[in-house]
Amino acid sequence: MIHCIGDSHSFMFRGPAAPLMGYHAAGDLKTPPGVLDPEGGSPVNPPFVVHWLGPRTAYNFDRRKAVVDEILRRFWKEGDRVLFVAGEIDCREHLPKQSKNQNKPVECLARECMDKFFNFICEYKKYGLIVYFVVPTTMNGDDCRRASSECNKRLAERAALDNLPFISLYEEMCTITKDWYCDGTHLDYRIALPLVEEKLKGLGI
């Protein structure tokens, strides 16, 4: 089993059970942020099981450490893996904004953000960590494109240094023209999930 822990972008891993519109609508999510998977930890799209943390940035992902620890304590079993989902809103909104506010290159802030995120998720290597990069909704605008490119690059570098599997659809989304999104914000599982599964198989997972 692969435990996908993170923000609303993790719901892609629920496959056919993922809402195709209105991910943030109360009618779609029966449990509030901070509560474990709406299905109580039971997979609706094996081998993935989703644990939703509510809105979450990669930069501040470590603030939910207590919830992450509880998820893994309750549901992780020997042989399972864990994949953390965060970073879309960082690249699309926060990093470009902070680049202007701090008068710093967005690449510098992107590296700092991914280093902080990676350092946190690396605490869970013993749980079979898979490093995953969430591509932003849109890469319109130079700062967003540069932030996305640098975040993807930095996570790949850090994963390689720690000999960890790395999954990203960044290159595909930069080069393949498709309607990638189901609601203008979240990846459509019908397009993106088969590519992720193919990459996992290529890594022997």
Output the domain CATH number for residue 101.
Answer: 3.40.50.1110
Phi, psi of 166 (to 5 degrees): -125, 130
* Higher-scoring residue by pLDDT: 35, 132: 132
> How far is 38 from 30, CA to CA, in rounded Å?
6
The pLDDT, as a whole number, for residue 138 is 63
The upper half-sphere exposure of residue 118, i.e. CA atoms within 13 Å in the direction of its Cβ, equals 25
User: Edge to edge, what strands does the sheet with 166-168 contain?
Assistant: 48-52, 2-6, 81-85, 129-133, 166-168
> How far is 132 from 135, CA to CA, in rounded Å?
10
Q: Which amino acid is at 174?
A: C
* Higher-scoring residue by pLDDT: 107, 51: 107
Q: CB-based contacts of 198: which residues, under 8 Å, 6+ apart?
A: none
Give the mean pLDDT of 11-17.
Answer: 83
The pLDDT, as a whole number, for residue 200 is 96
pTM for the structure as a whole: 0.87
Least confident of 44-53, 90-99, 192-201: 44-53
The pLDDT, as a whole number, for residue 174 is 85
> How far is 49 from 150, CA to CA, in rounded Å?
29
Give the mean pLDDT of 104-120.
Answer: 97
Give the mean pLDDT of 18-26.
Answer: 43
pLDDT greater than 90 at residue 34: no
Structural domain harbouring 84: 2-202
Number of structural domains found in the chain: 1
Greatest distance between any 2 Cα atoms in the chain: 47
